[in-house]
Amino acid sequence: MRSEVIQIRTGSRETVVDLTAEIDAFLASGDGGDGLLSVWVPHATAGIAVIETGAGSDTDLLTALRDILPSDDRWGHRHGSAGHGRDHVLPGIVAPSMTVPVLDGRPMLGTWQSVCLVDTNRDNPVRSVRLSFLAG
């Protein structure tokens, strides 16, 4: 198994960050081959999703999450910025990990699919993402 942690700057706003280029670079730095890629975000307030980006779906995802998880004072978890409790519920909806099949050193994503970091937490501007490749 080969593993690497990358740092992603998310800033101080809700965001969806496409990780596909970083994933391609990680896989290209190895020996190729077939296997499974694990993408894991070790944070209690972020998740990993496969969606289309650049055509509005990333913005639509954030809008849907705002509808499902409003940033208000209803949350029991109250430290951090206003409404921060919702950020701790996010990984229950957008999982903190994903496994992607890899064939011949390339992730087997569909034409419009991208692996993305989803971060609604405005309090932490940098996120770690662990990429681990298990050769088959």
Instruction: Name the percent of the chain lying above pLDDT 90.
Output: 81
11 within 8 A of 125, measured Cβ to Cβ = yes
Q: Which CATH architecture does the domain made up of 2-135 adopt?
A: Sandwich (2.60)
| Domain residue spans of the chain | 2-135
pLDDT score of 125: 93
Structure tokens at 61: 């995802």
pTM given for the model: 0.93
pLDDT score of 79: 80
Per residue in 120-129, pLDDT (tens digit) is 998 889 999 9
pLDDT at 54 over 90: no
Contacts of 21 (CB under 8 A, 6+ apart): none
Instruction: Name the percent of the chain lying above pLDDT 70.
Output: 100
- Residue 36: is it exposed, middle or buried by C-beta count within 10 angstroms (0-12/13-18/19+)? middle
Per residue in 70-114, pLDDT (tens digit) is 988 888 887 877 778 899 999 999 999 999 999 999 999 999 999
